[in-house]
Structures are given as structure tokens and as C-alpha cells.
Amino acid sequence: MDNLITPRTALSDVKSVSGKHKLIEVPLNGKINLRGNPENAAFIKGVESALGLTLPPAANTTTNSAGLHIFWLGPDEWLIHLPLQAVEEKINALRDALENQHVAITEISDYFSVLELSGPQSREIIASASPFDTRPQHFKAGQCTQTRFGHASILLWPLDDTPAFGLQIRWSYAQYVHAYLTESIHNAEALKQLL
């Protein structure tokens, strides 16, 4: 008898959107919230030794490599996305590397859902409910922002230089944002056919 537990998310039972535009939920990944003093060289060096990746150098930027993605959230706060099976190892590595420093290391893997939206009108679809300017001259790969989508707070980032975005949403708003994006996709595609 197989006793393995399949990780579930707020959108496990919600169908992805496919076609000219795609809206998928990323399988549950690990998430670690990290707080510390970026002016402390020992903190910066400790994080780099534990993760093998430097913290994003500036506000609203990201760094990523080898399955880890670090998002700048504030002057002393970062979010780390990583494979779920690596969370415990990386938390232990951070604790060891940052021992005796004033830091906070918190696992939040089950607090957020992550969606990926792609397709030619992705920027317009995001703009249907967000005030943030996603035009490529203002929002490029390697950047991120915390903004609103409808009534939900989201973390938004370009996936690459094509019109594709990652969105992180609290689980309690995941179905709302997914439904809103799905309707916006259908509206954008219907409008395009009329023009």
C-alpha cells in the first residue's frame, strides 16, 4: 500500500488554462522568508555560503541559479523559492551559517500559491486588475514587485524577456486570482477576435 502523501495546494482541483494564453499553477515549491541586516558583511557572506547564491543587490530585483530564486521584498527581507525537498537542508544551512546573528528564517512553503501566465497579451491581462506598469521598458527579467491584483496582494515577476509572468498569491486569494485571470484571458482573446 502506498502511503505517500501528495502535496496539495489551494488550486490542486482547479483546471489550468491552455491555448494562446496559458495559466498554470506551479507545483508546490519550498519558500523561505529571510530577514537580516544587509549592511552586515557576515550576514551577506553567510547567506551566500549557505545558499550558493548572492542576495539580490537592489530593491525589487531577483537572483536565481540551480533551482533557487531569491526575491528582494524590503531593505532587510528576502523570499527564497526552492525545491520543496531542499527546504529543511537550506534552513539548517542558513541557521548554521548565520549562528549568533540577529536574523529570522521562516518556512512559508504552504502559505502561498505560485501561478505562471504566458501568452501574447499577458501584459494587458495583468493590467486588467493591477496598477503596476508591466511594459518591457519598465519591468524586465531580473526584477520583481509587490503589487495588487484586484483585491489581492501579489508578488509579480517577469519569467523571461517574453510576455510571461510569475505571480505569488496567498492561498486564501489563489482561487479568486485564478478565476479573475481566467476571465481576463477569455475577454482579451474575445476582444482580439473582434478587432
Q: What gap in Å lies between CA 177 and CA 152, rounded to an integer?
A: 7
For residue 183, the SS3 value is helix
Provide the CA 123 distance to its chain's centre, in angstroms.
17
Q: How many other C-beta atoms can be found within 10 angstroms of the C-beta atom of residue 84?
A: 14
The class (CATH top level) of 22-194 is: alpha beta
pTM for the whole structure: 0.91
pLDDT 10s per residue in the chain (195 long)? Answer: 456 667 778 888 899 999 999 999 999 999 999 999 999 999 999 999 999 999 998 999 999 998 999 999 999 999 999 999 999 999 999 999 999 999 999 999 989 999 999 999 999 999 999 999 999 899 999 999 999 999 999 999 999 867 999 999 999 999 999 999 999 999 887 766 654
Helix axes 41-51, 87-97, angle to 10 degrees: 150
